[in-house]
Amino acid sequence: MEELQFKILEISENRLVLPKNELKALFEEFVGLLNTGKIRSAEPTADGNWKVNIWIKKGILLLFKNGVMTDFTNDRNFQFFDKDTLPVRPFSLQDNVRIVPGGSSVRNGCYVASGVICMPPMYINIGSYVDEGTMIDSHALVGTCAQVGKRCHISAASQIGGVLEPAGARPVIIEDDVLIGGNCGVYEGALVRKRTVMASGVVITNSTKIYDLVNERVIAATPGNPLEIPEGAVLVNGTRAIQTPYAKANGLSIYSPMIIKYRDEKTDAKTALEDALR
């Protein structure tokens, strides 16, 4: 692993040039490790924080840089043109991943664990990590390098944003047992802690302020620390009044997600995953 990391960093900084056959073998090893989850673009640390593995993101950038456009078309009903380093991810029955027919795609170089359900059409991009028992619902996106935990439900038409550049930027992270409602969006490296529930339509970015009505506080990103949604929070859409004279005169307000409660037995019952579907 250390040798692979060293070579990727050296190639990325133009200090090492490999023959095409050696570069291809290097990329195959790198992508294979991503597919099996042995390496990942971000990973939890012992203290509950998350560490970005910059060298992995740089390796993914090298796949884009060194690939050449190729025709992956199987037949005239499925045309597919992309870099030769970026095919779709291979699966077998032994992976125990349900990919329901209807236009879904999973790009090579991402980990999709046993028990994951992919409802059509959905998309999982390179560098992503989707853990056991999670459902990626119809029209949902798991963006580049996004990290999704165990037993999550990424509901229909939700977007888990991706980030590849700059290499040091933290990707979006969704921890275990999170419910992302339909048409939600999580972007710009936001961290959604365990057991959070996001009601349909909630959108958060790094510049979003979250108003915690339970603890009477405002949650916001700080320099070097992207937005973090606390464990067990239940977020809904809301607004807050704009205080300028013009805004007051016209009754204007601005979108503002709010935490209206933290998970309890009633919430757990409403959001329980149906084992029969798994």
Give domain limits for the chain: 85-263
pLDDT by 10-residue block (mean), the chain, 278 residues: 95 93 96 98 95 97 95 84 94 97 95 98 98 98 98 98 89 97 97 98 96 98 94 97 96 96 85 68
Beta strands 185-186; 147-148: pairing state: unpaired
Greatest alpha-carbon span in the chain: 68
In this structure, what token pair is assigned to residue 220? 């916001």
In this structure, what token pair is assigned to residue 52? 């970005």
Q: Which residues of 69-87 are buried (b: 16+ CB within 10 A; e: fewer)?
A: eeeeeeeeeeeeeeeebbb
> For position 274, what pLDDT does the model report?
64
Query: How far apart (Å, rounded) are the C-alpha atoms in residues 267 and 245?
Result: 40
- CA distances 272 to 131, 143, 184, 235, 268, Å, are 17, 25, 19, 17, 6
The dotted CATH code for 85-263 is 2.160.10.10
List phi, psi (to 5°) of 219: -105, 125
Q: What is the pTM of this model?
A: 0.94
> For position 270, what pLDDT does the model report?
74
> For position 240, what pLDDT does the model report?
94
In this structure, what token pair is assigned to residue 152? 């999550």
The sign of the torsion formed by the CA atoms of 140, 41, 221, 218 equals positive
